[in-house]
Amino acid sequence: MMANGKMAGWVESLPRVRGRYAFDVDLSRTVWFRAGGHADVVFRPADVDDLAHFLATRPADVPVTVVGLGSNVLVRDGGVEGVVVRLRQGFRGMQVRWDGARALVEVGAGALDMNVARHCRDQGVGGLAFLSGIPGTIGGALRMNAGAYGHEMADVVVEAKALDGDGALHVLAPDAMGLSYRHSTVPEDWIFVSAALEGRREEPATIAEHMEEINAQREASQPIRARTGGSTFTNPAGRKAWELIDEAGCRGLVRGGARISEQHCNFIINADRASAADIEGLGEEVRRRVEEKTGVSLQWEIRRIGRHGRWPQDGGEDAA
C-alpha cells in the first residue's frame, strides 16, 4: 500500500528494512478502547537488529512512537504523526534458565504478559503469576513499572535491554531504570527490546491456582470484557483513585459515547461508539470534579498519544 500524498515526502526517506511498513493504519481497530485515529506509518521490525538499523538511519525529524498491545493507550482522533513501532514475532521469545531453585526468565519485549505467566506456570517458575493480571506486553510493563495484586516489575526485573533513539543498545540494571510506582526514568525515546526476570521453583499446580485466583478477582472487580483501557488514573499516595472518583459522584458519569464504569469507577468504557475526545474529555471532567471535591489532582495512568481533532479519512490498513 502506498503512502498518501501528504506523507510522500518523508516516507520516501524511510530506510530499507527487513520488517514491514504499513501506511495510513487505523489504530482504532486494535487498541482496546476501539477509538481514535490512524497512524501515518506502522513499522513492524523483523528483530532487534532491524529495529536498531531503522532507528540509526531514519530521518531525524520523523517522530517515533511505540504501541504495544494497545491495552493502556488512548489514540487521539487526529491520529499519530510519524512512525508507530509495533513489536511482533521477533520480540516474543521466552526462555527459562535454572540456577538451583532460582529461575532466570529471558523474554522479548513484545511478549504478552499473560503468555509469559502461562509459560512460567508450565515450566514451574513461581513469582511471576501476577503478570497474568496485567493486560499488555513486557515492554509496556517495563516502561510503566506495571503491577498487580501486590507485585510489580521492580520486584522481578534483573536486567532490561533497550535501544536508544539512535539505535544503540543499552543493558540496564534495575537501579538504572529508576523504577517507582507506575513510572520509570528510562528516556521516552528508548525502546525496550527484552528483559530478564527472576523467579523461583514452584509446582505448576500451585502457580495455576494462584493465576485462577487472580483471574477470578479481575472478573469480579473490573469490566474486563468492555472496551476500556484499564485503570485510568494512578493511585495518589495513601488513597485509591476509585474511592476519590466515587466520592466526587462520578460513578456512571457519561460524556458522548464514553462512560465511567459502574463496576469499577477508575475505568472508562467506550459504551457507544465513543470518540477519543469523548474518552479524554470524560477523564478530564473526572479530574476536575475530584479536585474540586477532595483537593486531590488525579494523574493519568492511561497513555494518551497523537493529535487532537478528527482524522480526515476513512478506511486505512488494519494494524493487527
Listing DSSP states for 128-155 in one string gives -GGGGGS-SBHHHHHHHT-EETTEEGGG
Question: 241 and 211, same structural domain?
Answer: no
One domain for residues 122 and 192:
yes
Q: What is the mean pLDDT of the chain?
A: 94
- Given a cut of 70, is residue 150 above it in pLDDT? yes
Q: Is 121 among the catalytic positions?
A: no
Both 25 and 128 in a single domain?
no
Residues 244-258: what's their mean pLDDT? Answer: 98
Q: Rounded to an integer, what distance in angstroms lies between the CA atom of residue 163 and that of residue 192? A: 6
189 CB burial (10 A radius; 0-12, 13-18, 19+): middle
Q: How far is CA 291 from the centre of its chain?
A: 27
Q: pLDDT tier at 309 (50, 70, 90 boundaries)? A: confident
Which of 34, 144, 15 has its CA nearest to residue 83? Answer: 15
Cβ 269 vs Cβ 35: under 8 Å: no
My answer on whether 173 and 130 are in the same domain is yes
Determine the pLDDT at residue 320: 44
pLDDT at 30 over 60: yes
Residues 6+ apart with CB under 8 A from 275: 35, 36, 77, 256, 257, 310
Q: Of the residues 54, 89, 124, which one is the last residue of a structural domain?
A: 89
**Whether the model pTM is above 0.75:** yes
Find cell 540496564 and name the residue. Answer: 172
Residue 100: inside a domain = yes
DSSP category for residue 184: -
Same domain? 201 vs 167: yes
Could you tell me the CATH number of the domain that includes residue 20? 3.30.43.10
Is 228 a domain residue? no
Asked whether residue 70 falls in the same domain as residue 54, the answer is yes
209 catalytically annotated: no
Residue 275 annotated to the active site:
no
Distances (CA, A) of 18 to 57, 178, 181, 204, 267: 14, 33, 37, 39, 39
Any domain includes 165: yes
Taking the C-alpha atoms of residue 265 and residue 171, their distance in angstroms, rounded to an integer, is 39
Q: How confident is the model at residue 224 (pLDDT cuts 50, 70, 90)?
A: confident
Please tell me the predicted confidence (pLDDT) of residue 239: 95
CATH code for position 193: 3.30.465.10
Same-domain pairing of 207 and 132: yes
The CATH number covering residue 264 comes to 3.90.78.10
How many percent of the chain have pLDDT more than 90? 92
Residue of 152, 202, 280, 301 marked active site: 301
Q: Is position 290 within any domain?
A: yes
The predicted model gives 279-284 an average pLDDT of 98
Buried b (16+ CB within 10 A) or exposed e, 99-121: eeeebbbbbbbbbbbbbbbbbbb
* 171 DSSP 8-state letter: E
pLDDT confidence band for 312 (50 / 70 / 90):
low
On the question of pLDDT at 62 being above 50, the answer is: yes
Residues 67-91: what's their mean pLDDT?
96
Q: Are residue 189 and residue 258 in the same domain, yes or no?
A: no
Domain boundary among 38, 66, 89: 89
- Say whether both 75 and 106 belong to one domain: no
| Average pLDDT over every residue of 48-71 | 96
Residue 313 lies in a domain: no
Q: In this predicted structure, what is the pLDDT of residue 2?
A: 44
Answer yes or no: is 75 within a domain: yes
Whether residue 58 is found in the same domain as residue 30: yes
Single out the residue in 56, 89, 122 at which a domain terminates.
89
> Any bridge partners for residue 20, and if so which?
44
The residue from 182, 288, 307, 310 that is catalytic is: 182
pLDDT, position 311: 57
* Cβ(276)–Cβ(37) below 8 Å: yes
Q: Tell me: do 120 and 41 sit in the same domain.
A: no
Give the Cβ contact number of residue 251 at 10 Å.
16
Residue 315 clears pLDDT 50, i.e. is over it: no
Q: Which residues are registered as beta bridge partners of 226?
A: none
Specify whether 74 is located in the same domain as 143.
Answer: no
Which residue is catalytic, options 194, 231, 261, 275?
Answer: 231
Q: Which domain does 44 fall in, by range?
A: 5-89
Q: What pLDDT, on a 0 to 100 scale, did the predictor assign at position 317?
A: 52
Cα end-to-end distance, the chain, whole Å: 15
Distant-in-sequence, close-in-space partners of 113: CB < 8 Å, separation ≥ 6: 131, 132, 134, 135, 136, 137, 138, 141, 146
> Per the structure, how many domains does the chain have?
3
**Residue 315 is assigned to a structural domain of this protein:** no
Rounded to whole angstroms, the Cα distance separating 280 from 278 reads: 6
CA dist., res. 138 & res. 136, Å (int):
7
Tell me how far apart the alpha carbons of residues 316 and 293 are, in angstroms, rounded to a whole number.
43
- Is residue 311 situated within a structural domain? no
Whether residue 189 has pLDDT greater than 50: yes
Cα dihedral across residues 174, 179, 183, 185: positive or negative: negative
